[in-house]
Amino acid sequence: MAKNIIVPAVKGTREFYPEEMARRNYIYEKVREASQSFGYQEWDAPYLETLELYAAKSGEELVKEQAFTFKDRGGSQITLRPELTPSLARMIAKKQRQLVYPLRWWSFGPFWRYERPQKGRSREFFQWNIDMLGPNSPEADAELIAVAAKFMQSVGLSPELARIYINNRGLMDSEFDKLAIPTESRLMVSNLVDRRSKMKADAWEKYALEAGLSEPQLDGLVALLENKDIWKEWDDLVRLFTALDALGVSDYVEFDPNVVRGLLYYTGTVFEAFDVSGSVRRSILGGGRYNNLLADVGGDPLSAVGFAMGDVVAGIVLEENGLIPEFEPSPAPVLVTVFGEEFSAESYALSAELRAAGINVSTYPEVTKMKKQFKFANKMGMRIALIVGSDEVENAEVAVKNLMSGEQVKVARAQVPEEIQKMLASD
RNA sequence: GUGGCUGUAGCUCAGCUGGCAGAGCACCUGUCUGUGGAUCAGGAUGUCGCGGGUUCGAGCCCCGUCAGCCACCCCA
C-alpha cells in the first residue's frame, strides 16, 4: 500500500487525530470551567521567548538540557517556551501598577521540553497554568488547591482515585533547623526526600548517610517524614486546612511531609496531586507558593501562588480510569442522503434548511448506493438519516430514520426541522 | 545523557533448531437493483524499520543505525 516512505513526525510529538483532539478539548473545557468558576481570567504568553528569560530563574537542567533553542535569522537565541512562569512574571512586571489585585489568571497552551519521551512525558505537551498574585495568605493557597480539586471532581476523579498531598516549605525548614541540617545541604535533603518513595528503605538510608547525613539526623528525618500530624504545629497549615474544609474539598487533600517539590522557588505551601492506585507514578499537577519571583525578575515584590497540570499525565489517568467521554465522530448528528443525480438539489436544499434551523447536518457528497451512505452514517455515529427520493418528493415528505432504534417514519417536509429537533432532544 | 525491551498487512500480533510470509480484527464485493449496526460466501493487502555482514539460503544469526516503549535523571 504505502509505496512511498512517510516522513515521520518529530520525536516526542503527538498527532491529534479527531479522537485525540476531542480528548484534548475535553480537558481544555474542564480546565476552563474549573478556572472560571473561581473567577480566573484566561490569558496567554508568546510561544517563542528569548533564552535569556529563563536564565534568570529556571533550573539549570531546564534551560541547558531541556530547552528547544535556535538562532533566528537576526542571530537572537530563541526558545520554544519550556514553562510559563517567567513569561507571567515579565508580563506582570510590565504592567504591575495597572493590574487589579488579587489578580487571578489561567492559561492552557503548548510547551516544549527536549527530553527523552516516556510514559507521561512528551517533548511537546499542553499545560494548564493557574496563578493568584497579590495576596499572601493560606486562604489564597487553599483556593488554588480547591480549583484543582474542583477540576478533579468535574472529570470524575474522586478522592478514592486521586488525592492532593500538601506540605509547607517553611515547616520543613524549621524542622531541618532543629535537626541542624545546614542551609547548603537543604537541596540535597530535598532530593533525598523526593527519592524516598522510589527506593527501598534500607537502600535509601544508606544513600542518605553517604550523602552526608549523620545517624541522628537521619533518624530525625525519618521521624519527621512519618509524622502525619506535625502540620498542627504550623500555623499556616492549620489555617490552610481550615480553609480547605470550608471550601468543601477536605476529602481530596492530605498532609504529607514527603512532598517537597524539586523547584527552588517555592517559599511556603507546596502541593502535588497523584493518582492513588494507577500505573502512572508521576504527579498529575503540582504547585505552591512562590513569593520571591517577581522581585527576582526585576519587578516590585509580589506574592504569588499557583500550579501547573500537564495534559499527558492527566490524559493517561483519565483514560485508565475510564473517564474519557465517549467519542462522537461526527459533530453533525444528521445525515441527508442523496438518492440520485436528479434528487441531489433536494437534498442540499433540505440540508440548508436544517442548518438554518440550527441543526448540524452533513449531506452525502456524491451520488452512490444507499447502503454506502447508511454505512457511513453508522460509522460516523450519526443518529438520524434522511431520505429524499421519488416517493418523498412526490408527496412533499421526507423519510426520517432514527439510526439508534432503526425506526423510519415519513414526515411532511415543512415539519422536518421541528421533528428532528424533537428527536435529538429526546435522548 | 545512562540502561533495558520491541520494530512482520491499515490495527493487534504469531512465525519452531535458518528452508515457499501467516492469523484475528478492520477493509472491499456479493447474499440484499430505496436503508447501517447481525450472519454467511468470496476478495485485495507486505521495502518483515533501514544499512551492511555470515550463509547454498536470513523475518529468524552478527554488527551498525533509526524509531517506539519502559526505567533512571529532571519534571507537568
Q: What is the pLDDT of residues A378-409, one digit of tens each?
A: 999 999 999 999 999 999 999 999 999 899 99
A395 touches strand B (CB under 7 A): no
Instruction: Tell me the HSE value of A357 on the side-chain side, using a 13 A CA sphere.
Output: 17
Candidate from A12-16, A218-222, A286-290 with smallest mean pLDDT: A12-16
- Lookup: nucleotide whose C1' is closest to A61 CA: B74
Same domain, A305 and A357: no
Domain that holds residue A151: 18-45+84-320
**Upper half-sphere CA count for residue A71 (Cβ side, 13 Å):** 3
Burial of A38 from C-beta contacts in 10 A (0-12 / 13-18 / 19+): middle
Residue A9 lies in a domain: no
> Does the pLDDT at position A3 exceed 50?
no
- Residues A261, A405, single domain; the answer is no
Confidence of residue A210 (pLDDT cuts 50, 70, 90): confident
Q: Output the pLDDT for position A276.
A: 85
CA-based end-to-end distance of chain A = 42
**Structure confidence at residue A195 as a pLDDT band (50, 70, 90):** confident
The alpha helices in A227-310, defined as continuous H runs, are 235-246, 293-296
What nine digits make up the cell of A8?
515521520
How many structural domains is chain A composed of? 2
A251 and A365 inside one domain: no
What are A130's strand-pairing partners?
A106, A307
Tell me how far apart the alpha carbons of residues A338 and A250 are, in angstroms, rounded to a whole number. 57
pLDDT of A199 strictly over 80 = no
**Statement: residue A58 has pLDDT above 60:** no
Find and give the residue nearest to B75, measured CA to C1'. Answer: A262
Using the CA of A310, give the nucleotide whose C1' is nearest: B76
The pLDDT of residue A56: 64
Query: What residues are paired with A166 via a beta bridge?
Result: A255, A271
State, as a whole number of angstroms, the distance between the CA of A215 and the C1' of B2.
31
Query: Has residue A115 got a pLDDT over 80?
Result: yes
A292 and A410 fall within a common domain? no
Number of neighbours of residue A317 by Cβ within 10 angstroms: 25
**Nearest-nucleotide field for A4 (CA, C1'):** B47
- Considering the domain architecture, whether residues A262 and A349 belong to the same structural domain is answered as no
Q: Which of A278, A296, A320 is the last residue of a domain?
A: A320
Closest nucleotide over all strands to A408 (CA to C1'): B35
A371 touches strand B (CB under 7 A): yes
Final residue belonging to a domain, choices A320, A342, A368: A320
Specify if A102 maps to a domain: yes
**A246-285 residues near strand B (Cβ < 7 Å):** 261-263, 272, 281-285
Same domain, A223 and A93: yes
Q: Are residues A40 and A111 in the same domain?
A: yes
CA of A427 to C1' of B44 (A): 41
- Indicate whether A347 belongs to any domain: yes
